[in-house]
Structure 1
Amino acid sequence: MEYRYNPDLPIIRPDWQGNPYKDGAFQYLQDPFFPEWKTVLRMLMTPNPQRREKKADQWRPAVLPSTDWIANKDRDFLVWLGHACFVIQLGGTRYITDPVLNGMPMVPRLVHPPFPTPQITGVDYILISHDHRDHCDQKSVQQLLSANPQAKIFTSLGMERTIGKWIDDTPMQTAGWYQQFKSPSHEPQLTFLPTRHWSRRGLFDFNQVLWGAFLFEYQGKRHYFGGDSAYHWPFADTGEHFPDIDIAMLGIGAYAPDYMMQGAHMNPEEAVQAWQDLGAKRLLPMHYGTYDLSNEPASEPYRRIQKAMAEQERSHDLILPGVNEVVYL
């Protein structure tokens, strides 16, 4: 077994050797996931028990019209642009996460920000958690770089094989789990952390690119962007290493059927458990309402996350913004 990390970046966990790597692929050693073709065929061939409910469900997240935040470099905030794409601004430094702002092949986008992608300016860093097409899109990345030539890219080990040809000479740092990215001392500190997921864009590149989450630290506050993940042990581990997380951005959609999705995504109840394991103060759900990727009806994650938080008597800690709605930090 080989262990990979970026030797130019610090590892913040003393007992961490690097990400296990074998036979050309990153390894998730505890309860690994592999998308078997027979499971994919089972999903495609088995009737969806929620088919009628899903067809009748035309719910979409609300879209707010204002674009005032684009010119605002003074306040700390985040803006959800759908799926796993956020603009996060801390201390005047602006990040955009997993920018996929277009439709995908055979998967149209259901809800759009009220402006074209090139209007998103002032971006200092593009963060990409892994190479799946609903988190890493060539057109979106190139549009953002054209509008933000000063931007740099923070991402995972191996991502240069996916995006290297897209980005020309844009500065890029790739990190393994428990590694901190290098940035000026006056800017937020970002650390790349474990998730339970996988990567692939073609037929023969399974797990050649690492996947993970980003943790932001700035002026005593911490915010967690979970990328894509099933429920797993590292949530509690992250909470131990990084206590007092303020906001955790966690996926709650694309979970049905569970025999296909449970190894890669969380349902709303699992997301609540992950939020509790992280020890975060507030939960901001994502990865729902933007693309039709699975069998559950569009509004079901939105309804179930509210019910799950109410059952914990923590509804006041749930943040459910509309698309393009500003959440001040």
Structure 2
Amino acid sequence: MNNQPLVQVKNLSKYFQINKKEILKAVEDVSFDIYEGETVGLVGESGCGKSTTGRCLVKLYEPTKGEVLYQGKNVFDDNFSKNKLQYCKNIQMIFQNPYSSLNPRMTVKDIVGEGIRIHENVTENELDERIEDLLKSVGLNKEHMSRFSHEFSGGQRQRIGIARALSVNPKFIVCDEPISALDVSIQAQVLNMLKRLQKERNLTYLFIAHDLSVVKYLSDKVIVMYLGMIVEQAESVELYRNPLHPYTQALLSAIPEADPNIAKTKERIRLKGEIPSPINPKECCRFVERCMYVKKICHEEMPDLKTIDSKHKVACHLY
């Protein structure tokens, strides 16, 4: 692993103007590093800003504030726009919904081969061979090339989406909840395939999910978001062994336990109250209305993301 991060996110914020007075702060002041070859899990409840963060990384959204650096260069800098095509080749995305992310008017050959046609000068025979190899690597075969997306199951469609992301030989892939829309039996197959492809192709992942058991299996580091902000960040083993933020503790307590004897003794932390609106939020701890350890300062100040040790950070006034 290189000392220089492959991707650096610095003070990233993304706001959406609702009307003249209301601003939806989807992501606010988010910072983290991703090193080559590792998988970083990004977790939190629906609406916490995970997907918005991922879309900023692949330049589907332009951030309101902050920077995204790829190999040390700001991808939103005007000078970097000249290398936009190369950046698009190096960074790809696997989308959450395999039904809406594939063009129903295109065959599998056109979907998977589109990126190859744009980035490389290949003959039709070379293109067919490349696509066949890509489909084989994700568990599909040559006969699928001439079919349309509506002829496939959800799991097969997601495999097509993964093949499309791999088609241009990227270095970094944003996986935006790639298994949440799939059956449980298919989820394990796709996860194992992602791990295998990472090893074979030396890929780097940002894995966005709300299922912490999946994130534990796949990720080297875990970032926990709540209402647009990072509340905890640590290596996977450390976070699951010693969760510090009350929100992380509640999330981990909700992971189902397969052993019924252990499940009976496991204490579930139930959060009370409603999730506050991300529209014009108060300048205080975002978790203050649901926290069981709330103090006076929590209503008055926003906690900083403090470094507890070299590999564990938490944004909480308890520390």
TM-score, normalising length: structure 2: 0.30
Larger Rg computed on CA atoms: 2
More helix as a share of residues = 2
TM-score, normalising length: structure 1: 0.30
